[in-house]
Amino acid sequence: MGFRSISLRRATLLLLGLWLAMWGPGGPLRAQAAPPGPHGLEVRVQDHRGQALAGAEVELRWLGNEGRAAVLTARTDASGRALFTGLAAGSWELRARHERFMIFVSEVVISGGKPLIVAARQENVRGAIAPLRVRLARGPAPASPVVREKPAPRPTPPPESRPARPQAPPVPAAAPPPPAAPAAVDRGVPKESRPEPVVPEPTPRREPAATAAPSTPAPAVASSPPVPPAPARPPAPRVAQETAHEVRTVRRHADRTCPECPSGESAHSVEREVASGGAAAAGCPGEIRNRFAAAPPAAWVEIAAELPPGCSAIRLELPAGARYTGYRYESGTAAGWVDCPAGRECPGLSSAWLGDPIVVREGDATRLLALFENRAEGPRRARFTAYCREGGR
């Protein structure tokens, strides 16, 4: 079996097609530069205990419609901060990594306000012992205005050759303009003989005449006894105010609203917004879970009223006769939700659920309580879901 000969023209076309496929008409494919803009971003990287991490590598990649963009990189300083300037508004992919820690990956939305973390996750790598904490803030604006590259000027066509025109004779210098005419003099009535304008004098305002008081004395009015002040209403407990903002939902496998429920099970959820306790707040006290576990459910409301800001007790009661089968913890913002492991920080949200829920069974009733802690700079949504089989089946 011999080799089939290829003509020179066909070989040239094949080589040309291969060159275009590899390099393209404009040279090798390269990552485009990220679009410039007036925004800045400050990234703070911390370990799982909230301590600043120096030397962490932070990457930013533009996720706009202009195609794949180059990666902007920076390393955190001694205070765990990395600064980016000259960023365009829109979506960016953020990656933070450090030795012996998981890789933090999220989508960041940058606008005129505070940057927002969307859909954060932790990528486990070999040798990682704990997740990273990442917080964002508005960074400084660029010192100089953003200057975009101007397009290359188009080549101007060569001038057309035209016959030379005869030069016109020189024009004599124009004569200077005549001096301006003096202002017109008012030759009307002399100033001394002009009548002065008559200004009408203001009419003095007359005060109404005071009427004489009647000489007959007014009858004495019996003084009424003082009315005692109304008793002040006691302030409503904080737990009652939070309950007004709760959203409770029920999903069942039977009506196909609970895809994760096995046959015969239902999901009962409580959703609540928990205000920020701040990074410097004490959070939930260490012994508070033991107090709830030792107290009857009737006393849970009183104990919850003593909780500090950023710590919330979320209560849930299953239908009578239902058999409790499991639970689910979630936390999120307006951008979305993430699943949270018990006793560990929710990925990228600086919030956590403290241990497994407390379950108390009293006859046919089953009551549950879960503790949620928010250490973020803003509010966080907390969703507690309990699964059960209704009717005791």
pLDDT digits (tens, 9 = 90+) for 224-255: 556 666 555 554 444 444 454 788 999 998 88
In a domain? residue 4: no
Tell me, rounded to whole angstroms, the distance of Cα 118 from its chain centroid.
9
Task: Tell me whether residue 301 is exposed, middle or buried, using C-beta atoms within 10 angstroms of its C-beta: 0 to 12, 13 to 18, 19 or more.
Answer: middle
Provide the percentage of residues in the chain whose pLDDT is more than 90. Answer: 25
How many domains does the chain fold into?
A: 2
Residues 382 and 246 in one domain: yes
Residue range 147-184, pLDDT digits in tens: 444 455 565 655 555 555 656 555 555 555 555 554 44
Residue 291's pLDDT is what? 87
Residue 74 lies in a domain: yes
Q: Is pLDDT above 50 for 31? A: no
- Residue 127 CA to residue 101 CA, distance in Å, equals 8
Instruction: Looking at mean pLDDT, say which of 63-67, 199-203, 293-297 comes out highest.
Output: 293-297
Task: State whether residue 19 is helix, strand or coil.
Answer: helix
pLDDT of the residue at 332: 87
Cα angle for residues 285, 289, 292 (degrees, 5° grid) = 120
Residue 308 lies in a domain: yes
* Mean pLDDT of all residues belonging to the chain: 76
Are residues 243 and 112 located together in one domain of the fold?
no
Tell me, yes or no, whether 281 lies in a domain.
Answer: yes
DSSP state for residue 287 in the 8-state scheme: T
Q: List, as own/partner pairs, every contact residues 353-356 make where C-beta atoms lie below 8 angstroms and the sequence separation is at least 24, other chains included.
A: 353/329, 353/382, 353/384, 354/284, 354/289, 355/289, 356/327
Share of the chain above pLDDT 70, in %: 64
Nearby residues of 118 by Cβ (< 8 Å), 6 or more positions away: 91, 106, 107, 108, 109, 335, 336
Dihedrals phi, psi of 290, to nearest 5 degrees = -65, -35
Of 304 and 3, more confident: 304
25 burial via Cβ count (<10 Å: 0-12, 13-18, 19+): exposed
Q: Is the pLDDT of residue 207 over 70?
A: no
Tell how strand 323-333 and strand 57-62 pair up. unpaired
132 shares its domain with 243? no
Amino acid 97: pLDDT: 94
Identify the residue with better confidence: 112 or 2.
112
| Same domain, yes or no: 248 and 367 | yes
Mean pLDDT of 262-267: 91
Tell me if residue 319 falls in helix, strand or coil.
coil
- pLDDT given for residue 237 in this prediction: 46
Q: What pLDDT is stored for residue 185 in this prediction?
A: 45
Cα separation, 382 vs 340, whole angstroms: 10
pLDDT for 244: 46
Cα angle vertex 158, ends 154, 160, to 5°?
140
On whether both 248 and 386 belong to a single domain, the answer is yes
Residue at 220 is within a domain: no
| Residue 65, domain CATH | 2.60.40.1120
Q: Say how many CA atoms lie within 13 Å of 34 toward its Cβ.
A: 23
pTM, two decimals, is 0.41
Last residue of a domain, one of 116, 138, 160: 138
Query: Binning pLDDT at 50, 70 and 90, where does residue 310 land?
Result: confident
Domain span including residue 281: 238-392
285 in any annotated domain: yes
Choosing from 108, 138, 168, the residue where a domain stops is 138
Residues 123 and 245 placed together within one structural domain of the fold: no
Residue 165 lies in a domain: no
Half-sphere exposure of 341 (CA within 13 A, CB side): 8
In the predicted model, what is the mean pLDDT of residues 363-390? 90
What pLDDT is recorded for position 175? 56
Residue 216 lies in a domain: no
306: confidence class by pLDDT, cuts 50, 70, 90: confident
B/e letters for 354-376, b = 16+ CB within 10 Å, e = fewer, are beebbebeeeeebbbbbbbbbbb
Which pLDDT tens digit goes with each residue over 74-129?
A: 999 999 999 999 888 888 899 999 988 999 999 998 887 888 887 789 998 888 88
Distances (CA, A) of 110 to 4, 48, 143: 60, 25, 19
Q: What is the pLDDT of residue 117?
A: 87
* Residue in the structure block whose two tokens are 């955190």: 76
**pLDDT top residue among 73 and 209:** 73
Q: Which two tokens stand for residue 66?
A: 């202009």
Task: Single out the residue in 138, 172, 190 at which a domain terminates.
Answer: 138
130 and 243 assigned to the same domain: no
Q: What is the CATH number of the domain that holds 344?
A: 2.60.40
| Residue 279, number of CB atoms within 10 A of its CB | 16
Are 246 and 384 in a shared domain?
A: yes
